[in-house]
């Protein structure tokens, strides 16, 4: 049985997006919102345009990735459980240049993003072939964790709140984000860090600015 079979597929599939995190060259977790597709064999499919290839380059260097399904906007579900997935990813060097072989993925994407159907019109498609030139990332889940609906907390495997490592992490974030204090204006955000075992930890949380960075809420609810 695939690891992903341990959670409700109807919930996982209903999420329109998830946060997908890879490791940069220096080991920093980098997260992007994306629309994954669950395949029959239990793997998760993610694609990226060749114009935004960084996540693919990261995967080829270090296969460890994480995905957090935590924002149920437009899912049609009321307070669904969050789903946190850790796994290993592969991305071939050769990009795909047409929807062939990825029909179900594109069908899902067109359903979730109706405006993207314009790219299927013959005239438009003749000018925008780049839209279908994709790098395909396949994630094989190693562990799957269900979390309470709308919870905002750091999981037990993350660095403990108040630790020097966590404080340095947030000071770095504050130093590299333009207008970083604006982050506190959002009702929540996704925190990415390296866990005690070196893997990527993701958690939806609340950030409050302090003098030297951010304080992160743990154990609260939205």
- Domain extent listing, the chain: 1-149, 150-222
Q: What single DSSP character describes residue 159?
A: P
Find the mean pLDDT for residues 2-10: 91
Smallest Cα–Cα separation from 190: which of 156, 217, 160, 211? 217
172-196 pLDDT, tens digit per residue, is: 554 444 445 566 667 788 888 888 8
Per the CB < 8 A criterion, the answer to whether 56 and 135 are in contact is yes
In this structure, of 33-37, 141-145, 207-211, the range with the lowest mean pLDDT score is 207-211
Residue 18 has pLDDT above 90, yes or no: yes
Q: Which two tokens stand for residue 52?
A: 């935004």
pTM exceeding the 0.85 threshold for the entire prediction: no
* Token output for 47: 């694609």
Per-residue pLDDT of 114-136, as tens digits, reads 766 666 666 555 666 666 788 99
150-153 contacts at long range (C-beta below 8 A, 24 or more positions apart): 150/79, 150/82, 150/221, 150/222, 151/82, 151/204, 151/221, 151/222, 152/188, 152/203, 152/204, 152/205, 152/206, 152/217, 152/220, 152/221, 152/222, 153/203, 153/205, 153/217, 153/218, 153/219, 153/220
Quote the CA–CA distance of 127 and 105 in Å, as a whole number: 22
* 3-class SS of residue 178: coil
User: pLDDT digit string (tens) for 67-109?
Assistant: 999 999 889 988 899 999 999 999 999 888 777 788 888 788 8
Instruction: Specify the DSSP class assigned to residue 116.
Output: G
Short-list 106, 2, 93, 98, CA closest to 45: 106
Fold of 1-149: Pnp Oxidase; Chain A (2.30.110)
């Amino acid at each position: 049985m695939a690891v992903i079979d341990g959670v409700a597929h109807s919930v996982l599939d209903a999420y329109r997006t998830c946060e997908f995190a890879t490791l940069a060259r220096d080991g920093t977790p980098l997260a992007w919102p994306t629309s994954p597709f669950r395949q029959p064999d239990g793997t998760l499919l993610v694609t990226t345009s060749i114009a935004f290839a960084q996540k693919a380059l990261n995967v080829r260097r270090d296969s460890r990735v994480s995905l957090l399904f935590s924002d149920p906007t437009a899912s049609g579900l009321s307070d669904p459980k969050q789903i946190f997935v850790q796994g290993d990813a592969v991305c071939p060097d050769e990009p795909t240049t047409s929807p062939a072989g990825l029909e179900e993925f594109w069908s899902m994407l067109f359903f979730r993003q109706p405006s993207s159907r314009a790219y299927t019109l013959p005239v438009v498609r003749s000018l925008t072939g780049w839209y279908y030139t994709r790098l395909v990332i396949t994630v094989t889940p190693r562990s799957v964790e269900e979390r309470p609906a709308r919870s905002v907390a750091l999981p037990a495997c993350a660095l403990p709140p108040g630790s020097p490592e966590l404080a340095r992490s947030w000071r770095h974030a504050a130093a590299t984000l333009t207008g970083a204090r604006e982050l506190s204006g959002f009702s929540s955000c996704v925190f990415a860090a390296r866990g005690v075992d070196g893997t990527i930890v993701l958690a939806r949380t609340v950030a409050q600015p302090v003098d030297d960075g951010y304080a992160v809420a743990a154990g609260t609810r939205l």
